[in-house]
Amino acid sequence: MLIRKDGLNLEKKKRSINLNGELIWLNEPVVMGILNVTPDSFFDGGKYQNEDAVLKRAEQIVEEGGKIIDIGAYSTRPGANDVSAKEEIDRLLPAVKLIRDRFPQVGISIDTFRAEVVQEIVKEAGLCMVNDISGGTMDEKMFETIAQLKVPYVLMHIQGTPQTMQEQPQYDDVARDVIRDLAAKVNHLHRLGISDVIIDPGFGFGKTLDHNYELLNRLDAFEEFRLPLLVGVSRKSMIFRLLGITPQESLSGTTALNMLALQAGADILRVHDVKEAVETVKIYEKLKSTLK
């Protein structure tokens, strides 16, 4: 693999992810469905607190066309309360085991920034993709843990922590600064031998409303990485605050931004509403197929 000194890839864009020995192909964009086993997530907190609810949600994601289920046990909404690693594992592990046993065909991603949590889940439930909202900034052992376990890694950009990230975030140039930060980390990950890296610009994580829209408007710049690009804007404040509505009323706005993200090169859409996102991908693919 040819990598520039700044971490950007000189080869063609990577079109697959090796997840637990199975390839997830990205020739067409795929949808990642969100399953939060937390009591306080901004949109669906408290909905999936027992086995039946977890399995019903997982079944819905699979039936509606989701290829990956992203399971989170730590709320990262702005100002969310901290929880211990033990509590995070106690929430996460039963859900991962349930879904792996019932839906072995679906990819599983764990949404955590803690290397300890990754190690315990992989030991007890098998290999999973790791979706790290901190991009390795909140646990210095994360990168070496990913290298040791050889699991796919979603590298997201954040400024600050979930508790502080919306306290006056500042950038000289948001797209350039985010790309520069991610490029340095991609370079580090590649030096450690980690090849399955997915880039996430981190919409809503240490960005103002204007930062988010400027980042979306320049999303095609992230194609320089030649790595899969994950976009997660589902029902976020960049939609409902702009429109003066609630997260529950933000589906149409989410769909609009998902289409824009696909047109700018997104490979994975991380969403609450899987059916609508899958339909958006189908429309995008049809539109793309008519290009001469």
pLDDT, tens digit only, all 292 positions of the chain: 444 455 555 467 888 999 878 889 999 999 999 999 987 554 444 455 688 889 999 999 999 999 999 999 887 766 567 789 999 999 999 999 999 999 999 999 999 999 999 999 999 999 999 999 999 999 999 999 999 999 999 999 998 777 666 777 889 999 999 999 999 999 999 999 998 999 999 999 999 999 999 999 999 999 999 999 999 999 999 999 999 999 999 999 999 999 999 999 999 999 999 999 999 999 999 999 998 6
CA–CA gap between residue 23 and residue 83 (Å, rounded): 33
Helix axes 51-63, 85-102, angle to 10 degrees: 50
Q: What is the pLDDT of residue 32?
A: 98
Q: What is the pLDDT of residue 2?
A: 47
Catalytic residues: 236, 270
Q: What is the pLDDT of residue 74?
A: 87
Domains in the chain, CATH or no CATH each = 28-289 (3.20.20.20)
Q: What is the pLDDT of residue 165?
A: 63
Q: What is the pLDDT of residue 167?
A: 74
Q: What is the pLDDT of residue 179?
A: 98
